[in-house]
Amino acid sequence: MGFGVAVSLENLIYAFIGCLLGTLVGVLPGIGPVAAIALLLPTTFALPPVGALIMLAGIYYGAQYGGSTTAILVNLPGESSSVVTCLDGHAMAKNGRAGHALAIAAIGSFFAGTVCTLIIAVAAPPLAEMALKFGAPEYFSLMVFGLIASAVLARGSLIKALGMILVGLLLGIVGTDVNSGMSRFTFGMPGLSDGIGFVVIAMAFFGLGEIIKNLETPDDQRQVFTDKVSGLMPRWEDIRMSAGAIVRGTFLGAFFGTLPGTGPVVAAFSTYAMEKKIAKDSSQFGRGDIRGVAGPESANNAAAQTAFIPTLTLGIPGSGTMALMLGAMMIQGIAPGPQVMTSRPDLFWGLIASMWIGNLMLVILNLPLIGIWVQLLKVPYRLLFPAILMFMCIGTYSLNNSIQDPLLMGFFGVVGYAFMKFGCEPAPMLLGFILGPLMEENLRRALLISRGDPTVFFTRPISLTFLVLAAGALLVIVLPAVRKKRDEAFQGDE
């Protein structure tokens, strides 16, 4: 059924457009998958649900690969998980081997995508079947664990990450209480009675905030790649050296992708550290070792795909990108969770099949277009900014045909920029914003079922397990040795 849906002409076009647009936006330094999806989300509003999600998935993969392209060519990661690729990828480019680095990155990503598509197809059904047995207490506790894990594994200060989650939870409950009909945090503004739009928040924090941040770097300080990219067919020696790193990166990335709050960033850093540690001669790492490109890029793409497992089967996003995908499902009128597999099998299996097709399109599409991406990098950012801003304003205005949405986007964009200046990651905030209303709903439902008895969360084994894991994660991260390793894991991403 999946391939029957994915290979229809309409959905193939959506996948192609998604990969193309994702790469187009992803090659812009500082605009990664989250910002790319946030910026391009309005383009999917008029599409059918299956086509919309297939296109958004294509944007996700395209932005991931676009970030790798800029990391290799100009030493500017398009997104966080491409920081590691800069170390050896750009060194290879300076040695005249940019084509080999780009080709190995594409091959590693395609292999990882193929393997992880199979993993999702095998792992998702039993996980969804188990999730059908979850009640309101289990879902509430699972969401608590997901939020705590995302804070523990986020970059920077744990206190700041928890604070951003709290900000997201508060923004998520703005509007009218569905049970009492009372207004909450609307400040007398009728336009806020239905809450703050998901697209407004996503575009503000991940679109406008990132744009303002990028404007701080003058155009004359941006590197421009002037050499001609050649040698897009890797040598046999490159393939032989990279094979082990690609396989190891794929499975390590697949594991990290399923964990809340980790995803491609931790997967890429962990794989690079592992490859450097097991190499017989690690002296070339950082100087153009192709294993330093192959391993992290494979892990990056693997984690990007397996992150769909908890999102599709449990309705729990593990990262900011998956929170956007979850929000896109809600906009399309799809209730995320294990019932999607039975109620919308065409969407579930069609999306999984399109993952493999999207990865194949990336290889076929992007390598011949390297020259175009290089030219795009030469466009001054001051010229790109007005066009992107106009696109964002049109997208937010089209939600409700109200000028209030673009104004709110502008306000929260400035707030998001201020948070970034203070070193606060916006991804935990978006998770809190998405999960806040769902947590409130399941909390009320659980207390209603138990007639107001809060011990229901501790007397049910699965619910208790998630709460113990959440508490354990907070206690463990307080240990100095663990906190030091956590900080070292992201040291290269500062």
- Other CB atoms within 10 Å distance of the CB of residue 303: 34
Specify the higher pLDDT residue, 206 or 160: 160
Q: Which of 261, 256, 321, 309 is nearest to 32 (CA)?
A: 321
For residue range 14-26, list pLDDT tens digits in order: 888 888 888 887 7
Instruction: Report the range of poorest mean pLDDT among 98-102, 173-177, 234-238.
Output: 234-238
Specify the higher pLDDT residue, 357 or 233: 357
Task: Check pLDDT > 50 for residue 492.
Answer: no
Q: Which position has the token pair 């999102």?
A: 311
> Strand, coil or helix: what is 150?
helix
What is the mean pLDDT of the segment spanning 385-399?
77
Q: Are 320 and 32 in contact (CB under 8 A)?
A: no
pLDDT score recorded for residue 493: 44
Q: Which position has the token pair 């197809």?
A: 121
Q: Which position has the token pair 């290089």?
A: 374
Task: Check pLDDT > 90 for residue 247.
Answer: yes
pLDDT score recorded for residue 79: 62
What is the mean pLDDT of the segment spanning 325-350?
79
pLDDT score recorded for residue 464: 92
pLDDT score recorded for residue 468: 92
Average pLDDT, the chain: 79
What is the number of structural domains in the chain? 1
Q: 175-176 and 183-184 as β-strands: parallel, antiparallel, unpaired?
A: antiparallel
Task: Check pLDDT > 70 for residue 356.
Answer: yes
pLDDT score recorded for residue 376: 67
Cα 412–Cα 417–Cα 421 angle in degrees, nearest 5? 145
Instruction: Report the range of poorest mean pLDDT among 30-39, 320-329, 389-398, 480-489.
Output: 480-489
- Write the CA distances from 22 to 89, 221, 263, 427, 441, integer angstroms: 21, 25, 18, 19, 34
Q: Which domain holds residue 120?
A: 2-493
The tokens for 56 are 């958004």
What is the mean pLDDT of the segment spanning 4-9?
80
pLDDT score recorded for residue 391: 74
pLDDT score recorded for residue 260: 62
The tokens for 99 are 């084509």
What is the mean pLDDT of the segment spanning 473-479?
75
pLDDT score recorded for residue 173: 86
What is the mean pLDDT of the segment spanning 54-75?
80
Percent of the residues in the chain that have a pLDDT greater than 90, as a whole number: 3
What is the mean pLDDT of the segment spanning 447-475?
88
pLDDT score recorded for residue 250: 92
Specify the higher pLDDT residue, 108 or 392: 108
What is the mean pLDDT of the segment spanning 392-398?
78
Task: Check pLDDT > 60 for residue 262.
Answer: no
pTM over 0.85: no
For residue range 400-457, list pLDDT tens digits in order: 778 888 898 899 989 988 988 888 878 788 888 888 888 888 899 899 988 888 899 9
Length in residues, the chain = 494
* DSSP secondary structure of 225-273: --SPP---S--HHHHHHHHHHHHHHHHHHHHHHTSTT-HHHHHHHHHHH
Separation of CA 313 from chain center: 17
Specify the higher pLDDT residue, 1 or 339: 339
How far apart, in whole angstroms, are the C-alpha atoms of residue 448 and residue 218?
57
For residue range 195-241, list pLDDT tens digits in order: 888 778 877 887 787 778 777 766 555 555 555 555 566 677 878 88
